[in-house]
Amino acid sequence: MTDPTTYTEAIAQLTPFQRAIAEAFIAAGPGARIIWQSNRKGGRFAIQRAIELHHQEKENHMSEPMQTLVHEFHETYGVPTRTSPGLVDEPTAQLRINLMIEELLGSTKADGSDSRVPSKSDELVQSIMDGNIVGIADGIADLLYVVVGTADVFGIDIQPIFEHVHASNMSKLGEDGKPILREDGKVLKGPNYFSAEAGICKLLENQRGAA
């Protein structure tokens, strides 16, 4: 048996019982210590190796932008993406629209049915209504995946765009550095506000030129 170099390889070499132990220690966090003794000499070390590889890969992925990870998925599964910002064909555009609607409102809403009626497929919406924090986290991640994936399909590096929009939003502060709020809580634009649109156009031009 070869020494595994990835978590996927390591977990595949474990027995179901060993895999369950490894997954339990992974769930317990990096500080957990292995105290279980295998009947076979290499069992404990195989489990330890799987746990170590899992934590290493998790640390590596923490530093990778979401779009890098989503692009990896697209390349692996053959999803066509542009190499620079631009439009895509109508079927691809419609698919991205349907995916985003489905992740936010559920598959029953992608066909144009009433979005005000919750259904079991409305994972994020239903989880918020039910107070299910695990479902909320899962639903947000799924929604981010398809939204960031849409940027990737259109060839847009979304991180600098997002940062520019953030800077535009922060420019709404008043001269005193405090938010200007309407009676209903809506944030109003301060005297130093600048629109994000011109900057986005420039960023997209730069991305086209760099491709």
Separation of CA 68 from chain center: 10
93 against 53, higher pLDDT: 93
Whole-number percent of the chain with pLDDT over 90: 54
Do residues 71 and 95 share a domain? yes
Q: Which residue has the tokens 């550095």?
A: 177
Do residues 46 and 76 share a domain? no
- pLDDT above 80 (res 108): no
Instruction: State the pLDDT confidence band at 56, using cuts at 50, 70 and 90.
Output: confident
**Which domain range does residue 104 map to?**
66-155
**Where is average pLDDT lowest: 13-22, 56-65, 138-147, 149-158?**
56-65
Cα angle vertex 165, ends 150, 203, to 5°? 70
**First vs last C-alpha separation in the chain:** 44
- pLDDT above 80 (res 13): yes
- pLDDT above 50 (res 118): no
- The 10 Å Cβ neighbour count of residue 85 is 19
pLDDT digits (tens, 9 = 90+) for 185-200: 999 999 989 999 999 9
> Could you tell me if residue 2 is inside a domain?
no
Do residues 79 and 122 share a domain? yes
Instruction: State the pLDDT confidence band at 106, using cuts at 50, 70 and 90.
Output: confident
How many domains is the chain built from? 3
Q: What is the pLDDT of residue 29?
A: 66
Do residues 142 and 164 share a domain? no
Do residues 78 and 107 share a domain? yes
